[in-house]
Each structure stands twice: as C-alpha cells, then as structure tokens.
Amino acid sequence: MGPRLKLFIPLILFAVLALFLFRGLELDPKELPSALIDRPLPSFELPALGGDRMLRREDVIGEVALFNVWATWCVSCRVEHPYLHMLAEQGVPIIGLNYKDDDTDALRWLEELGNPYRVNIVDAQGTLGLDLGVYGAPETYLVDAGGVIRYRHVGVVDERVWQDILQPLYRELKTGRVN
C-alpha cells in the first residue's frame, strides 16, 4: 500500500494547488481592509467647499452617512457620480471629501453634474485623506451615527456594491442592531 500511495502524491499536491488558485480567482488583492474599521473618524478642521465656514468632525457626524472621497481629476468619480445622485435622492446622507483638488474645478463639476453631497470638505493637502488611509479616489466610508467608521469601499460605488455590501450594513446601522 505504501509505495502505491506514494504515486498519488503529485495528484494530491496538484489538487491542493488548484484549490488555492481557484480561491485566488475570487480574491481582489486591491481590496485592502481599512485600518480604521471600528475606529472613530479622525478629527479635522477643514474648509467647506464653496463657503467660508470651517468644518469640524462634529459638524459632519450624527447620523449614519456615506463619506465619499472624490476629485475632479479622478475619472472613476465621474462614473460613480450618477449613482451617488440616486442614493442621495433615496435619502442617504452623503458627505463629500474633495481630495487634493482645485476648488474652482470642484465647484464647476458640481454645477455641471449636480451635487449629491450634504456638504463637501475641502482636503486640498490630503491631510484628512492621510488620516483616513485614503490611497486613491473614489473611496467611500460608511460612518455610523456615533462617528465610527464601519466600512470602507475602494473604487466605484455602483448598484452591485450598494445592494450587496453597503445597503445591508447601512440598514443595520440605521436600526441600531450593530453596536
């Protein structure tokens, strides 16, 4: 039995390897878990887009909301924009984080494409982005009523992402089933 069992070793090795590779097909190495999950939104003091007032952390938290990192130089943000509109129309609060952008460009963008954001935080230097661990745009954070980050999605938020991931979490947070 011993020597004959040895003959199966290559087959077993192949099966194990195939299993790992098959699993790998579904993994996206670009999806990094945020280091800030279940941690409070970092504090900041940054200007609001299109106004003189300063925004602080306390001004933008208080209800379950999406924090959307966007910029006019970000091509995917343009793709994402109509969907954000739809969400805003459904009553989902969206806070914009205008990341390393030019104010004039950003205002023109909102004028042309519409403004789904409750308010826009101007992060021209990317300081808040750095504290959030942002490494590109678009990124979307789901923040609960207590200002704690619950989820981070890197890339475009579309129907699939919203239905499969964000909406269930959003609903749970709304009804307060997650502490």
Partner 1 sequence: MAASARLLMLLLLLTAPALAVIETYEFSDEELEKRYHQLSGELRCPKCQNQNIADSNAPIARDLRQLLYTQLEEGASDQEILDYMVARYGEFVRYRPSFSSATAVLWLAPLLLLMAAVVVVVLTLRGRRNAATGEGGSELSAEESRRVQDLLDESEKDA
132 is a site residue for partner 1 (CB under 8 A): yes
Please identify, among the stretches 58-66, 81-89, 132-140, 156-164, the one whose residues bind partner 1 according to the rule CB under 8 A.
132-140
Q: Kindly report the CA angle at 170 between 59 and 62, in degrees rounded to 5?
A: 20
Binning the chain into helix, strand and coil, the percentages to the nearest 5 are: 40, 20, 35
33 is a site residue for partner 1 (CB under 8 A): yes
Nearer to partner 1, 80 or 139 (CB): 139
CB atoms within 10 A of CB 146: 13
Tokens encoding 4: 């004959």
Burial class of 42 by CB neighbour count within 10 A (0 to 12, 13 to 18, 19+): middle
10 is a site residue for partner 1 (CB under 8 A): no
Please identify, among the stretches 12-20, 75-83, 134-142, 162-170, the one whose residues bind partner 1 according to the rule CB under 8 A.
134-142
Please identify, among the stretches 80-88, 90-98, 131-139, 161-169, the one whose residues bind partner 1 according to the rule CB under 8 A.
131-139
29 is a site residue for partner 1 (CB under 8 A): yes
Size of the site for partner 1 (CB under 8 A): 16
The contact mask relative to partner 1 for 36-75 (x = CB under 8 A, - = no) is: x---------------------------------------
d(CA 25, CA 169): 25
User: CA-CA-CA-CA torsion for 140, 147, 47, 100, nearest 10 degrees?
Assistant: -30
Rounded to a whole number of angstroms, the minimum distance from the CB of residue 143 to partner 1 is 16
Amino acid at residue number 70: W
Binding site for partner 1 (CB under 8 A): 29-30, 32-36, 100, 126, 130-136
